[in-house]
Amino acid sequence: MYLSRGLYVFPNKHTIRRFMYDGEEATELPEITFEQQLIDFLEINLTPFNRLLDKLKAYTKENTTPDELLGVYRAIGYTAEIFCQEEPVYSFLLCTKLYVDSYDISSYEELFEHKDHAVEMLRDMVHTQNIFFTIADAYCRFEGTHEEKTTKAFLGRETIFKCQFEQVIAHTDVGTEMFQMTRPKLPYSRGYRFDNLPAYIWYIFLHAMEFDTSFSQCNYCGHFFKPKTKKKTRYCDRVRTEDGRTCKQIGPQQIYKFRLQHNELLIDYDRAINRNYRRVERYELKLGDEKQGKDLSYNDYADWLRELHSARIAFMSGELSEEEFKETIHQLD
Ligand SMILES: [Zn+2]
């Protein structure tokens, strides 16, 4: 079997085993469930990363010398390498894609094109996060059974299913420890190879959504979580106060107070989410890429929604005035 650098993934009942194969050696990452990998990816704060990409993008042929451009190019490689050290899978895939796409650069012109291409590649990760943040948020917001929620959230999003994953059927006699470690019961084991981050996240997302795993969103802070028990819970265990109290401990009371005192505002808030979500849906269903009128992209919507979640907590804890909160609600009007 032909092996090349990539992330090799083997489903193992509810978890996946992941091997980073650099062309010579395979390193296994801790086993993880699909939902946990998805939640972990959706949690990364990419705002500073996006700002850095804007800066790198701003180096144009007119304002950059070849030496400076080399520096920029190195900065991109460095960014991919040090990205999110606590979960090396992202950095590994970013670097894999960079290596796959790199070719012998012999002129300033080519180096310049390659820089743009690399920046776009890193930006794909931001876009992927925004798409799945939007859909995961919609899924959690909808009421109903898992099937009903999934149907609603996936409606009109056929493009999600167009992603092709590279499947590998690994025989046990492949002389690589990685495949022997998967201990298949049959004389083969089924797995996937990924060389870029978006494809991996698409795969993770589709599998995370396949069964009802009580994938939830915290009613208080808006972050995603997987409840520890089967009992339905609407609040996560993230610590929210200096004395160590969690969303689960302070959330229900805060939300109750919020409903009681600001019911109108809450209705306004829910309406804004629905309204803007429909704008994204409409835009995504269009064939053309050009934005018109009230069209919203996943990026616009997801950025706003994250800000809205933070504004809501800030308002409930008294850090934000009603006026400021309203401004955030209507920011995209
Ligand atoms: Zn929470």
Closest CA to 153 of 167, 171, 141, 170: 141
231 and 120 in one domain? no
Sign of CA dihedral 210, 213, 214, 218: negative
- Ligand 1 centroid, distance to 180 Cα (angstroms): 40
Q: What is the pLDDT of residue 1?
A: 47
201 and 316 in one domain? no
Residue 324 is assigned to a structural domain of this protein: yes
Residue 139 is assigned to a structural domain of this protein: yes
Residue 10 is assigned to a structural domain of this protein: yes
Where a domain ends, among 187, 210, 233?
210
95 and 64 in one domain? yes
72 φ, ψ (degrees, to nearest 5) = -60, -45
Q: What is the pLDDT of residue 179?
A: 67
- 319/317 Cα distance (integer angstroms): 6
Where a domain ends, among 210, 233, 263?
210
118 and 10 in one domain? yes
301 and 193 in one domain? no
Q: What is the pLDDT of residue 156?
A: 74
Q: Please list the rounded mean pLDDT of every run of 10 residues in the chain (333 residues).
A: 80 88 89 95 90 87 86 87 91 89 75 87 93 95 93 81 73 60 65 91 92 91 89 88 92 92 94 95 79 88 95 93 97 95
176 and 227 in one domain? no
- Ligand 1 centroid, distance to 76 Cα (angstroms): 34
- Ligand 1 centroid, distance to 239 Cα (angstroms): 8
38 and 97 in one domain? yes
129 and 28 in one domain? yes
218 Cβ contact partners less than 8 Å away, ≥ 6 residues apart = 224, 225, 234, 235, 236, 238, 247, 251
- Ligand 1 centroid, distance to 216 Cα (angstroms): 10
- Ligand 1 centroid, distance to 298 Cα (angstroms): 23
Q: What does 29-91 look like in DSSP terms, one character per residue? A: EEEEEHHHHHHHHHH---HHHHHHHHHHHT--TTT--HHHHHHHHHHHHHHHHHTTTTSHHHH
- Ligand 1 centroid, distance to 326 Cα (angstroms): 22
81 φ, ψ (degrees, to nearest 5) = -70, -40
Sign of CA dihedral 57, 59, 61, 62: positive
- 329/312 Cα distance (integer angstroms): 9
Q: Which pair of tokens denotes residue 37?
A: 């990998």
- Give the total number of structural domains in the chain: 2
Beta-strand runs (E) in 195-267:
216-217, 224-225
- Ligand 1 centroid, distance to 209 Cα (angstroms): 21
75 and 14 in one domain? yes
Q: What is the pLDDT of residue 53?
A: 87
- Ligand 1 centroid, distance to 224 Cα (angstroms): 8
- 250/269 Cα distance (integer angstroms): 21
Which DSSP helix (H) or strand (E) runs through 194? strand 188-194
Helical axes 263-285 vs 247-261, angle rounded to 10°: 100
- Ligand 1 centroid, distance to 330 Cα (angstroms): 24
- Ligand 1 centroid, distance to 322 Cα (angstroms): 22
165 and 246 in one domain? no
262 and 136 in one domain? no
- Ligand 1 centroid, distance to 127 Cα (angstroms): 24
- Ligand 1 centroid, distance to 320 Cα (angstroms): 18
- Tokens 């991919």, residue located: 80
104 and 31 in one domain? yes
Supply the Cα-derived Rg of the chain in whole angstroms. Answer: 22
Where a domain ends, among 182, 210, 238?
210
- Ligand 1 centroid, distance to 251 Cα (angstroms): 8
Q: Which pair of tokens denotes residue 223?
A: 């972050």
- 253/136 Cα distance (integer angstroms): 25
Residue 1 is assigned to a structural domain of this protein: no
Residue 151 is assigned to a structural domain of this protein: yes
- Ligand 1 centroid, distance to 249 Cα (angstroms): 10
- Give residue 226's domain range: 216-329
